Amino acid sequence: MKKAAIILGVMGILSTLSLSPVVGSASTLVGTVQYHRYHGTTTIKKNYQHFKLTNHQPNSTYKLIKTTSWRNAKLKAGSKVSIDLMANQGTQYNWYRIRSTNKHATHRYWIYGQALNLK
């Protein structure tokens, strides 16, 4: 019980100091997720490993959102990808649904916009 109280106290102090960890969920962000068609190609930035590849947009209402490793997706910095959907929820950056431009690529992944070289 004391351990839980200490953890809650630390989280309260962090949130008061605006040092709380960034956690995005549909209930904490303002507005609903909006999807838009987006056609284009781009490449993946060097900082790509700081972001996750998911099968659905992270703040969507899907119950089972799976994360895929970059190795399994066979994507790395400089890989050319095509974009077919964009999702936003009132944040500075958007999510994009990408697919590798390889002729055998079938899987699509959602990625945060900061991991892509968008113009």
pLDDT digits (tens, 9 = 90+) for 75-99: 999 999 999 999 988 776 789 999 9
Strand runs labelled E in 58-114: 67-68, 80-88, 95-100, 109-112
Instruction: Answer whether 0.85 is exceeded by the pTM.
Output: no
pLDDT digits (tens, 9 = 90+) for 23-65: 344 445 567 888 899 999 999 999 999 999 999 988 788 889 9
Q: Tokens in use for 30?
A: 């303002």
Maximum Cα–Cα distance across the chain: 57
pLDDT digits (tens, 9 = 90+) for 96-119: 999 998 877 789 999 999 999 987
Region 6-20: mean pLDDT is: 42
| pLDDT score of 1 more than 70 | no
